[in-house]
């Protein structure tokens, strides 16, 4: 939520301030106050780099939903039905925006946002303040997470890929058998209708796959 552009700045600030107050007692002695300004600046710079890296990892986890939304929209024939998607900071498929909002709601409904808070707390133990940020490990983990997010997005949208292939093959057969029928005018609305029916019955399973990926990805950072 803090990283989403759709959230008001005041809400982001309040969440960040609340987390800071909640976590301060747990990390108060880590580290001590730097003796001079140069060390303080170095400490702040290291924390900024580490915070950006953790934010990127979180974005990569959520990108699985964006991948799935793009595939689903394409198979439903709604790839050109776009609107401003705040999660991508640009134009995005309407179906993708819906899946993204649903995923965020499910994260809070299943208390998986506690993993995010635990990961922030655990980061002070995994990456002690004042040390050199582990850029090599972060880069490797980002590459692995990007690959896993794409694979998960395809897995979430797999029923729609099968639906699109079967439906298009069937439409091609009908077109060959009855060339006088304007098959395009029949296929377009039926594709959208079939896609919405599949989305209605498969949304819970799609979210279950994403939530499992979300938990598996963040559990190591949360100390689980």
Residue located via tokens 């100390």: 223
Among 1, 58, 4, 50, smallest CA distance to 217 is for 58
- Long-range pairs for 80-87: beta carbons < 8 A, 24 or more residues apart: 86/4, 86/5, 86/6, 87/4, 87/5, 87/6, 87/62
How do residues 165-215 score in pLDDT, each as one tens digit?
Answer: 998 898 888 888 887 777 777 888 888 899 999 999 999 999 999 999 999
Q: What is the pLDDT of residue 130?
A: 67
Q: Is 89 left (phi over 0), alpha (psi -120 to 50) or beta?
A: left
**Dist. CA 91–CA 93, nearest whole Å:** 7
Q: Rounded to two decimals, what is the model's pTM?
A: 0.81
Q: What is the pLDDT of residue 156?
A: 95
How do residues 22-43 score in pLDDT, each as one tens digit?
Answer: 877 777 666 666 777 877 787 7
How do residues 40-98 score in pLDDT, each as one tens digit?
Answer: 787 788 778 888 888 888 888 989 998 999 899 888 887 776 665 555 565 667 888 88
Would you place residue 2 in the very low, low, confident or very high pLDDT band (cuts 50, 70, 90)? low
How open is the CA angle 45-19-112, to the nearest 5 degrees? 110
Neighbours of 42 (CB within 10 A): 13
């Amino acid at each position: 939520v803090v990283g989403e552009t759709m959230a008001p700045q005041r809400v982001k600030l309040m969440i960040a301030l609340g987390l800071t107050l909640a976590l301060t007692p747990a990390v108060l002695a880590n580290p001590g106050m730097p003796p001079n300004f140069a060390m303080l600046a170095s400490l702040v710079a290291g924390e900024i780099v580490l915070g950006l890296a953790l934010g990127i990892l979180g974005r990569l986890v959520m990108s699985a939903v964006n991948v799935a939304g793009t595939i689903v929209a394409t198979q439903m024939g709604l790839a050109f039905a776009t609107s401003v998607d705040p999660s991508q900071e640009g134009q995005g498929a309407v179906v993708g925006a819906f899946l993204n909002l649903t995923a965020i709601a499910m994260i809070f409904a299943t208390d998986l946002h506690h993993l995010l808070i635990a990961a922030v707390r655990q980061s002070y133990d995994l990456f002690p303040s004042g040390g050199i940020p582990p850029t090599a490990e972060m880069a490797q983990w980002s590459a692995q997470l990007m690959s896993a997010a794409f694979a998960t997005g395809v897995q979430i949208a797999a029923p729609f890929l099968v639906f699109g292939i079967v439906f298009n093959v069937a439409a091609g057969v009908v077109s060959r058998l009855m060339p006088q029928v304007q098959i395009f005018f029949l296929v377009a609305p039926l594709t959208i209708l079939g896609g919405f029916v599949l989305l209605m019955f498969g949304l819970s399973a799609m979210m279950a796959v994403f939530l499992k990926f979300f938990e598996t990805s963040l559990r190591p950072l949360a100390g689980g």
